[in-house]
Amino acid sequence: MTYKETLAYLYQTTPLFQQTGKEAYKEGLHNTLALDEYLGHPHTHFRTIHVAGTNGKGSCSHTLAAVLQSAGYKTGLYTSPHLIDFRERIRINGEPIPESFVIDFTERHRPFYEPLHPSFFELTTAMAFSYFASQKIDVAVIETGLGGRLDCTNIILPDLCVITNISFDHVQFLGNTLTEIAGEKAGIIKRGVPVIIGEANQETRPVFIAKAHETDSPIYFAEDQKLLISATPCASGFLYQTRDYPNLRGELGGLSQQKNTNTLLLTLRCLQEKGYRITETDIRNGFAQVCGRTGLMGRWQKLGDHPSIVCDTGHNTGGFRYIAEQLKQQTYKKLRIIFGMVNDKDISGVLRMLPQEAAYYFTQASVKRALPAEELQALAASHQLQGNCYTSVSEALKRALKDSSEEDFIFVGGSSFIVADLLAGGTR
């Protein structure tokens, strides 16, 4: 098979969550454990750091990987979903997994895994661990897919666990309360393994403390440490003042990155205490060069000027809390928002946060889970958000650009898949 044929086979024969949603979700670790045993337990051949959370885990995972790369570690990075190419999910020192490995793994192991009927994520997790082991990496930053306790990445025994935050998302799988969701995320905490909690509240903190006590795991709350003193916007990202590193430049520009940075500073301190050779220079390089070192895209990413074009993969109420605030801080003649969501999110919760004075261009991503633009338009109207519908992100962008003056600001978002379609199609 060619690479294109291999991807078509994977998408068609293994349920892909980003396409089909709940139909792709498989509870339990039976398939994962079977694949792991068959492949010779590849995840035991390298050190790992496990990252979970409702929002921020992608940014934190990529930044950790960038710092570790700067420190000279051969670093694996496993994240999801991808935006343009499947190979974004599996990287070593920023380089995507080769097409040849994807093809070979898929073909060579078909006789074993086809009878298991694994999900797309189960199979690609096994692929990632096998690739990392074959390349003899030093350490991998592993982002959970969904939840934690039953996530198929949860077979690893990491050096450190990080849980960025808890908010409402994937409630059909993880629970209808923050306490229930926190319980699922806390499932990554392993016996004796330290855990960093980025954000917590009166509902989630007791859950984390109880789980850490049960597993005899040291637990640290980043908010209690307050290692980040201040953050000032700069030409690209933020200039941070921290307890340990004055004038630390962070490349990522979203307001949510301030919370992520506080979490990361404590995480890096703990890694240093565990013996990781990470210098101040490594941390500065990693924060300043995260996109170039890891290939991260879609985090308040600026794509154009005159008019300004920015996209962000935030896709739930927790993420849009920061996006809505950041939109208020922009200077423009007219704000234009190209917007689409998938059908299993708290759509009304997000719509309530959006500015009523903006011009909206409702659209839908090229995935089955996408909410039809007409339905989104009707829901938005009930929140006094007005705009027209477009059949694709590219059509919506063309119209927004045609309508815009050079002083306007165009924001594209609502879903990772909206951003994926935007980046795949170009912006001009």
d(CA 77, CA 393): 29
**Please, which residues have CB within 8 angstroms of residue 112's CB and are 6 or more apart in sequence?**
35, 38
The 10s digit of each residue's pLDDT in 91-120 is 999 999 999 999 999 999 999 999 999 999
In this predicted structure, the answer to whether residue 25 has a pLDDT above a threshold of 70 is: no
Are the C-beta atoms of residues 75 and 138 closer than 8 Å to each other? yes
The 10s digit of each residue's pLDDT in 184-206 is 899 999 999 999 999 999 999 99
pLDDT grade, residue 168 (50/70/90)? low
Are the C-beta atoms of residues 62 and 79 closer than 8 Å to each other? yes
Q: In the prediction, which pLDDT does 18 show? A: 45
Give which of 390, 400, 398, 393 is closest to 420, Cα–Cα.
393
The 10s digit of each residue's pLDDT in 375-415 is 999 999 999 999 999 999 999 999 999 999 999 999 999 99
In this predicted structure, the answer to whether residue 139 has a pLDDT above a threshold of 80 is: yes
- In the chain, ranges of CATH 3.40.1190.10 domains: 3-294
- In the chain, ranges of CATH 3.90.190.20 domains: 301-425
CATH of domain 3-294: 3.40.1190.10
**Mean of the per-residue pLDDT values for the chain?**
92
Return the CATH number of 301-425, one of 3.30.70.960, 3.40.30.10, 3.30.420.240, 3.90.190.20: 3.90.190.20
In this predicted structure, the answer to whether residue 425 has a pLDDT above a threshold of 90 is: no
- Strands of 211-304, DSSP E: 219-221, 228-233, 238-242, 248-250, 301-304
d(CA 37, CA 391): 46
Q: In the prediction, which pLDDT does 234 show? A: 86
Q: Please state, in angstroms and as integers, the Cα–Cα distance from residue 28 to each residue in 71, 208, 362, following that order.
A: 36, 21, 37
